[in-house]
């Protein structure tokens, strides 16, 4: 359940980014376009779809003056990018991080379009962000910033228009401020379906908090099956211990996988016997949301974790952690991408040549938006499901999406990432054609 202190401590969907992005020069939008163009080539995509989907439909940039606790006014940069509304209202999270900029938000918005298409949700894709460091802000400052951002985006957001959710650095508490501010702006009409990832008490969905990590686990297990491996004989290294990484680690270990390496922005740890993830989660909760000071494993570097000899590598933190600089050193048999864009496009060929089976972000982390969709459906019906009803609906969606992508991978003899883009781009392009030309 959400507590006020969580907004600051929890670090949101993934661990809050620091300025220490290992490869800040790699433009995530270029990474997105490189994969999109490869898929378009395989599909022999028509020129119109290629042109339309290569660019966002709408970009909004705002400057948000916020009164800080010390009396100063700080002006924050805010963004919302709508990549596509072809398949339905745009859907996608809001990120609070110092790495937020237009190119990052544009890439993340396009990934949402393709992610929603892979799992066949009736949504387009969008993303938002504010360049800020939420770990350095008070609860009051975060609330004022969030309300200012919501007011600035009041004509962008809407239950049938654009539906935000949590992402890195934001969480259910931030969503609660957004739904409240939106209510105030709209003459006190309550529109819970304007945003997902809300606290349960305000119309959030059971299972939403764990959903992204659960999808990582579900798709990883399906990947292991295809590789002929049993979970009990596998080791995993999980990078990032925010919402996605912690639930992925917990659920993988509940399936018998030995989680031998974990990390967050404060450090990385190794334990050959496998960590007791529930204990780690308790530690992090009691420790202001980070692994700092954790002493139940051997201290290693982030690079050690990424290049560890394991069956499963689950990058669940930042973009561009695997690049041409370290791809050759990756030893994992499978990479399951809990984060958005953890592998830069320049690393794809290297990893493919090494025969690493990759479950790409737009498939692996689609469990979150899938349960966001259920939250939106429940809000609109005013009728709520139990956690097991949610999981019983979400799991088959993830499994079917995995199988669709896997079949495209086999049929076209292309890597899983390209197969996922292929499935997604084909679906959105069909939607574009069905809607006509003008
Ligand atoms: N931020 C999450 C993502 O990247 C969730 C988006 C949503 O639920 O709308 O998929």
pLDDT value, residue 25:
73
Domain that holds residue 101: 9-26+54-192
| 159/219 same-domain check | no
Does 42 map to a domain? no
| 324/355 same-domain check | yes
CATH of the domain at 338: 3.40.50.720
Q: Is 19 helix (H, G, I), strand (E, B) or coil?
A: coil
Q: How many whole angstroms from 286 Cα to the centroid of ligand 1?
A: 26
CA 248, CA 241: separation in Å to the nearest integer? 9
Does 331 map to a domain? yes
Active-site position among 127, 198, 250, 333? 127
pLDDT value, residue 437:
77
| 169/311 same-domain check | no
- The DSSP letter of residue 259 is E
| 84/226 same-domain check | no
| 224/284 same-domain check | yes
253's enclosing H/E stretch is helix 243-254
Place of tokens 């090494």: 354
Q: How many whole angstroms from 166 Cα to the centroid of ligand 1?
A: 6
- Specify the ligand 1 atom closest to the Cα of 111: 4
Calculate the CA 379 to chain-centre distance.
22
pLDDT in tens, 194-251: 999 999 999 999 999 999 999 999 999 999 999 999 999 999 999 999 999 999 999 9
pLDDT value, residue 13:
55
Write the residue with the smallest CA distance to atom 8 of ligand 1. Answer: 369
| 185/221 same-domain check | no
pLDDT value, residue 24:
52
| 3-state percent helix, strand, coil for the chain, nearest multiple of 5 | 45, 15, 35
Write the residue with the smallest CA distance to atom 9 of ligand 1. Answer: 92
Among 364, 393, 411, the domain boundary falls at 364
Query: How many structural domains are present in the chain?
Result: 2
Ligand 1 pocket list (CB less than 6 A)? 13, 91-93, 115, 165, 167, 196-197, 340, 365, 368-369, 372
pLDDT in tens, 316-348: 999 999 999 999 999 999 999 999 999 999 999
Q: How many whole angstroms from 300 Cα to the centroid of ligand 1?
A: 30
* Per-block mean pLDDT, blocks of 10 residues, the chain (438 long): 38 45 72 96 97 98 98 98 98 97 97 98 98 97 98 98 97 98 97 98 97 98 98 98 97 98 97 98 96 95 98 96 97 98 96 98 98 98 98 98 98 98 98 90
pLDDT value, residue 16:
41
Among 192, 219, 246, the domain boundary falls at 192
Q: How many whole angstroms from 354 Cα to the centroid of ligand 1?
A: 30
- Specify the ligand 1 atom closest to the Cα of 167: 1
Q: Is 19 a catalytic residue?
A: no
């Amino acid at each position: 359940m959400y507590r006020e202190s969580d907004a600051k401590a929890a670090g949101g969907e993934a661990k809050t980014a620091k300025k220490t992005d290992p490869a800040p020069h790699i433009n995530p939008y270029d990474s997105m376009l490189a994969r999109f163009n490869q898929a378009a080539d395989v599909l022999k995509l028509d020129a119109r779809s290629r042109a339309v989907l290569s660019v966002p439909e709408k970009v909004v940039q705002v400057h948000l003056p916020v009164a800080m606790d010390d009396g100063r006014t700080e002006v924050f940069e805010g963004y919302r990018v709508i990549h596509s509304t072809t398949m339905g209202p745009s859907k996608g999270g809001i990120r609070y991080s110092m790495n937020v900029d237009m190119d990052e938000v544009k890439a993340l918005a396009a990934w949402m379009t393709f992610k929603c298409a892979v799992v066949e949700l009736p949504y387009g894709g969008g993303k938002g962000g504010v360049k800020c460091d939420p770990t350095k802000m008070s609860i009051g400052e975060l609330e004022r910033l969030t309300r200012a951002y919501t007011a600035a985006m009041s004509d962008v957001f809407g239950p049938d228009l654009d539906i935000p959710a949590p992402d890195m650095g934001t969480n259910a508490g931030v969503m609660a401020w957004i739904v409240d501010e939106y209510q105030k702006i709209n003459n006190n009409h309550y529109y819970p379906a304007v945003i997902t990832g809300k606290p349960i008490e305000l119309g959030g969905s059971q299972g939403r908090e764990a959903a992204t990590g659960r999808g990582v686990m579900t798709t990883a297990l399906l990947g292991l099956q295809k590789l002929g491996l049993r979970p009990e004989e596998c080791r995993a290294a999980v990078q990032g211990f925010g919402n996605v990484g912690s639930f992925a680690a917990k659920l993988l270990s509940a399936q018998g996988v030995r989680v031998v390496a974990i990390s967050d922005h404060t450090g990385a740890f190794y334990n050959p016997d496998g960590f007791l993830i529930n204990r780690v989660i308790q530690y992090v909760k009691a420790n202001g949301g980070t692994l700092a000071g954790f002493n139940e494993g051997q201290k290693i570097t982030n690079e050690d974790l990424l290049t560890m000899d394991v069956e499963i590598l689950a990058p669940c933190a930042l973009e561009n952690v695997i690049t041409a600089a370290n791809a050759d050193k990756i030893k994992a048999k499978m990479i399951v991408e809990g984060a958005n864009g953890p592998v830069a496009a320049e690393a794809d060929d290297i990893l493919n040549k090494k025969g690493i089976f990759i479950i790409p972000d737009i498939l692996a982390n689609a469990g979150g938006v899938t349960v966001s969709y259920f939250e939106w459906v429940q809000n609109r019906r005013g009728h709520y499901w139990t956690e097991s009803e949610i999981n019983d609906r979400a799991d088959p969606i993830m499994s079917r999406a995995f199988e669709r992508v896997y079949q495209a991978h086999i049929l076209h003899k292309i890597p899983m990432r390209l197969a996922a883009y292929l499935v997604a781009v084909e679906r959105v392009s069909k939607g574009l054609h069905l809607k006509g030309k003008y």
